[in-house]
Amino acid sequence: MRTSFIAGNWKMHKTVGEATALAKELVTALAKETCRIMIAPPFTALLEVSKIVKGTNIVLGAQNMAQEVQGAHTGEVSPVMLKDVGVTIVILGHSERRHVYGEKDELINKKVKLALSEGLEVILCVGEKIEERNAGNAEKVVEEQIKNGLKDISPQHMKNITIAYEPVWAIGTGVTATPEDADDMHAFIRKTITALYSPEIAETLIIQYGGSVKPNNAKELMAKANIDGALVGGAALTADQFVPIVQYDK
Ligand code: 13P
């Protein structure tokens, strides 16, 4: 049985004051929940939010990290610095990193390996663009992103990996993949992991869906056999929206 994992990616939103206010609301509202919950504020708010979620059932995530531990990397944040402020999970390969900031599979793989070796968990994001889906290439694109993103990752490390399937055309658009389409892709991801690793690893892997997850569609998405969680963007920015998503089964 896989434990549901609901994560909020706050992207480039919220000052420190706004972030701490939301974190406090979530800690109170979600105190009794038994699913896994993560919030990923912007870098500038990590330290203060960390103090609020410490010792609660909410874990602290980061939205990205550098591919090196330290050095002359102006503007970057290292995994050691993330751990230092209480981060335990890092989102890597988000479509905005891939398509707005030009991150390629090779760089993402380097970051995944470094995060794992530094003891961080990883949410590896994959997903096709609308042209790729319309051309019938969605599975091929996702398979490549998984194979390349997980290159040289040992079976032992796979317990620290979550995969988030986020079709690019569904992110921030209000257009959600149908639960059936999302479930089909999740099943395909599990098949890919079976071929790369083993049926056991594929069976225990948590696969989140991301892309316009809202309180009114979370339940039907989460009802699907292969959808184990959600990576939520816009609807993670207020307690009014995020709390009912976490409580999708209530
Ligand atoms: P939205 O929920 O705003 O579509 O964003 C999804 C996402 O990119 C989460 O990482």
Q: Which residues contact 201 (CB under 8 A, 6 or more apart)?
A: 155, 158, 193, 194
Residue to probe by mutation, ligand 1, list 175, 231, 237, 238, most atoms within 8 Å of CB: 231
Q: How far apart are CA 246 and CA 235, in angstroms?
A: 11
Q: How far apart are CA 41 and CA 216, in angstroms?
A: 24
Ligand 1: distance of its center to the CA of 108 in Å? 19
- The closest-lying atom of ligand 1 relative to the alpha carbon of residue 234 is 3
Q: What is the domain count for the chain?
A: 1
Q: Which residues contact 183 (CB under 8 A, 6 or more apart)?
A: 224, 225, 226, 227
Ligand 1: distance of its center to the CA of 11 in Å? 9
Q: How far apart are CA 143 and CA 129, in angstroms?
A: 14
For residues 93-100, average pLDDT: 97
Ligand 1: distance of its center to the CA of 205 in Å? 21
- The closest-lying atom of ligand 1 relative to the alpha carbon of residue 211 is 4
Ligand 1: distance of its center to the CA of 168 in Å? 9
Question: To which H or E segment does residue 7 belong?
Answer: strand 5-9
The residue behind tokens 């889906």 is: 133
Supply the residues annotated as catalytic.
Answer: 94, 166
What confidence tens digit (pLDDT) does each residue in 159-206 have?
999 999 999 999 999 888 899 999 999 999 999 999 999 999 999 999
pLDDT band of 4, cuts 50, 70, 90: very high
Structure tokens belonging to residue 199: 């049926």
Closest CA to 231 of 52, 41, 39, 79: 39
The CATH number of the domain holding residue 231 is 3.20.20.70
Q: How far apart are CA 153 and CA 113, in angstroms?
A: 7
pLDDT band of 114, cuts 50, 70, 90: very high
| Whether 6 contacts 245, CB under 8 Å | yes
CA nearest ligand 1 atom 1, residue: 233
- The closest-lying atom of ligand 1 relative to the alpha carbon of residue 11 is 10
- pTM of structure: 0.98
What confidence tens digit (pLDDT) does each residue in 203-237 have?
999 999 999 999 999 999 999 999 999 999 999 99
What confidence tens digit (pLDDT) does each residue in 134-143 have?
999 999 999 9
- The closest-lying atom of ligand 1 relative to the alpha carbon of residue 214 is 2
Ligand 1: distance of its center to the CA of 91 in Å? 12
The SS3 of residue 56 is coil
Q: Note down the domain range covering 64.
A: 5-246
Ligand 1 proximal residues by C-beta, below 6 Å: 9, 94, 166, 171-172, 210-213, 231-235
For residues 117-127, average pLDDT: 98
**Mean pLDDT (the chain, rounded):** 97
| Whether 191 contacts 220, CB under 8 Å | no
How far lies 73's CA from each of 9, 57, 76, 154, 224, in Å? Answer: 24, 34, 6, 28, 42
Helices (H) and strands (E) in the chain, counts: 11, 8
